[in-house]
Amino acid sequence: MASIFTKIIQGEIPCEKIIETDSEIAFLDIMPSAAGHTLVVPKLAVKRLEDLPAKQAMSLMSTMQRVAVAVSTAFNGIDYNLILNNGINAGQEIEHVHFHILPRAKGSPGPFREHIQYAEGEMQEVGAKIRNCL
């Protein structure tokens, strides 16, 4: 069965897309820990990082770096975590490798401890703000 990420990649489920390349897609998390919480996902559906061919892993890292800089810049140079939960015991909930770019303001709670909800229209505003920094 296709993961939710595969359905997003195939356009079956909408997302607030930040960037899409031939090999990756980045979009805002629908259960964010902070405004700007972005996921970077390879289009190739593999469960674990080590299952991703080296060429695609390098492409994923390059896209992730671009998106991380854009997220940080969009929020005035904010710090961020890059997080990979590689396997169920590491907290991976969707069996399709993906990285979280999680903006972290001073004093913010640790990753995934809290979730926020975007107000109506706010997710699109945040997405546009990040895309403008690419």
Domain boundaries, the chain: 4-131
Q: What is the pLDDT of residue 110?
A: 78
Place 107 in a pLDDT band, splitting at 50, 70 and 90: confident
Q: What is the pLDDT of residue 109?
A: 81
Residue 65 tokens, joined: 């770096």
What does the H/E/C string look like for the chain? CCCHHHHHHCCCCCCCEEEECCCEEEEECCCCCCCCCEEEEECCCCCCHHHCCHHHHHHHHHHHHHHHHHHHHHCCCCEEEEEECCCHHHCCCCCCCCEEEEEECCCCCCCCCCCCCCCCCHHHHHHHHHHCCC
Would you identify the CATH topology of the domain 4-131? Answer: HIT family, subunit A (3.30.428)
Could you give the residue numbers annotated as active site? 98
Distance CA 27, CA 62 (A): 16
Place 2 in a pLDDT band, splitting at 50, 70 and 90: confident
Q: What is the pLDDT of residue 27?
A: 98
